[in-house]
Amino acid sequence: MGKSRNYYRMKKALALIDKYWFMTGIVVVFTLTMIDPSGAVSGVGRALKWLNGTDAALILVFFLSGLVLDSAKLREGALDIKGTVLALLLIFIAAPLIGMAIGLMQGTTGIMIGIFIVAAMPTTISSGVVMTEAAGGNQAHALMITVIANTISIAAVPFALALVLWSADLGREVTIDRIAVMKKIGFLVLAPLFAGSMIQRFSNGFFSQAEKQISIANQVIVLGIVWMAFSQTRETVLSNLDSIVPAMIAVIMFHMLLLGTAFGCVKILKIPKGKRESVIFMGSQKTLPLSIIMQMSLFPDFGLALVVCVLHHATHLAIDAWLVERMKKA
């Protein structure tokens, strides 16, 4: 009886892990990177990042996305003006306003600055696209939002960040190398996506048959990108362990409020399943690399702000990975 009960519990646990494997992967990657006493896990991650591993992984994600990109969905995504505008409003207006409100509630300057930085960022380049597809949404529309949002961010991020910093009397000059950002978007997103779509067009549907496997591969690659990001910031996180709980509360509040705003907007505007996923994920997720650059260049004396950026990335990926499974059921 005891053995059969234990077997049943183990089988149930494995089924849950299989169901929520991406969220489990986020938690495992973060935990292993942070608690490894030897630092070997983070050391390998930093070495890979130094060897441009993040860029290579992003190129592979969008190349694989191009291999299964449905031209019909691409046209549909291009015509979804309402969804695109809504996602951009969430990214560049709703998020800074929510971040401003939460940041001003915080008594700790480092946490407040971290929330401000996260709130002003554009959407993620890879994870949001992968999650949109996994949840049954229009991947092409998610890609379009990514490109448009990160292009707009060249002008919008300095303005939004300056505004939220001014609200807390923390005004600092915000500068971004606009040409460099545009080149990066073209090299990491557009070029590999175009290459993959060209190969897909002449493959007679060969890669479309492996769409599920390619989607899983993309999610695994995203886990690798997250690992490299966590490895880079491990020491800063560990040196601010006493502030983890209030920082975690702040980032969870921020992401849940932004998600709630996104869900409320798609419901009010009656955006149907298949179109709403890209708006929700792309409108509520925030990129980590640019937030790290902003923190290190503008607030190097507030290491806690970097901890907030990293914790937000880990938290929003874990929450959204769970959300993917819920939206699949719906």
Give the torsion sign (CA, 51, 143, 159, 92): negative
Which CATH number is associated with domain 2-329? Answer: 1.20.1530.20
CA distance 224 to 306: 20
Query: Can you tell me which residue has the tokens 């290579």?
Result: 56
pLDDT at position 86:
95
CA distance 242 to 148: 38
Return the number of other C-beta atoms located less than 10 Å from residue 118's C-beta: 31
Dihedral pair phi/psi, residue 88, rounded to 5°: -65, -35
pLDDT at position 210:
76
Q: Where are the domains of the chain?
A: 2-329
Structure-block tokens of residue 273: 């399943």
CA 31-33-38 angle, to 5 degrees, is 120
> In this structure, what DSSP letter does residue 93 have?
I
- Reduced to 3 states (helix: H, G, I; strand: E, B; else coil), residue 177 is coil
In the chain, the amino acid numbered 61 is: V
pLDDT at position 283:
93
pLDDT at position 179:
73
Structure-block tokens of residue 83: 């969804």
Structure-block tokens of residue 192: 């590999």
Query: pTM above the 0.85 mark?
Result: no
Q: Which H/E stretch holds residue 69? A: none
Task: Give per-10-residue mean pLDDT for the chain (330 aa).
Answer: 59 60 78 86 89 85 78 70 93 92 76 88 80 85 85 80 72 62 73 83 75 79 82 80 85 94 94 90 86 74 80 85 80
CA distance 140 to 200: 14
Dihedral pair phi/psi, residue 288, rounded to 5°: -90, -45
pLDDT at position 8:
61
CB 233 within 8 A of CB 310: yes
Question: Mind giving me the DSSP string for 282-296?
Answer: HHH---SHHHHHHHH
